[in-house]
Structure 1
């Protein structure tokens, strides 16, 4: 039985469906059918503009974003697809807070829906720090169908792992 580390929290029936696709060697076809295109956000500057546009559309009252970038150091071994940070520094007599979002570099090659899901997820943390009901409600508001895209992203990560093991 194939261990599905990215899908462990999902019901066994869903995991079994993914295992069946793996056994039939159809997981790549499933993903290609649902997410055929790739986005064109390839630079940190473009990613910043992309995140800022989403923030302006949905979270006008949230704190300003100071930096958004693709990060090669974020990897799946630390279970971090994206990261939001708030760094406070003393400048003169004032305390300045900087908000940053870092997105794993593997999303440069992903479907636009996956990139949007990760950015939405990190932006939602500006309003809701915990993964609670309000957090996921906000994610769903910013990206209708958020939960399906998150599930498919986990399927995509599973596929990437399997493809990597096949090359070894």
Structure 2
């Protein structure tokens, strides 16, 4: 039995990607991957991406800001992790820096202090060194700056 892969006209693919981008902010790389998955030829991919940008379905600066705001507020990621994840999505340095600037230093440190205290209280480990290691690993993985993490670990865990 032969498997036929669904093919799309340029109009169909464009409509489908307008919905894809309207549903949630996307980056250029995600859109290109989606189109490749739909077996679109490179020329068609370029035409569709240009269309999406011109009609404001696709905006890398807006994507970066939404991504940073969401991951910071919901997942409590630090700036290093946010920057790293955006680089993986081929977002430009300019857009990454602009998006990170949207987080005020007060808010950033405030969130860090709040989750640091919660985390320090939740680690059930009698050994101080092991407790500190768990605390530090947790925050470094989430991309918080090491100087913040180590200072806080020494302050909260004695």
**TM-score bracket for the superposition, by shorter chain length:** under 0.3
TM-score under structure 2 normalisation?
A: 0.25
Q: Judging by fraction of residues, say which structure has more strand.
A: 1
* Structure number with bigger Rg: 2
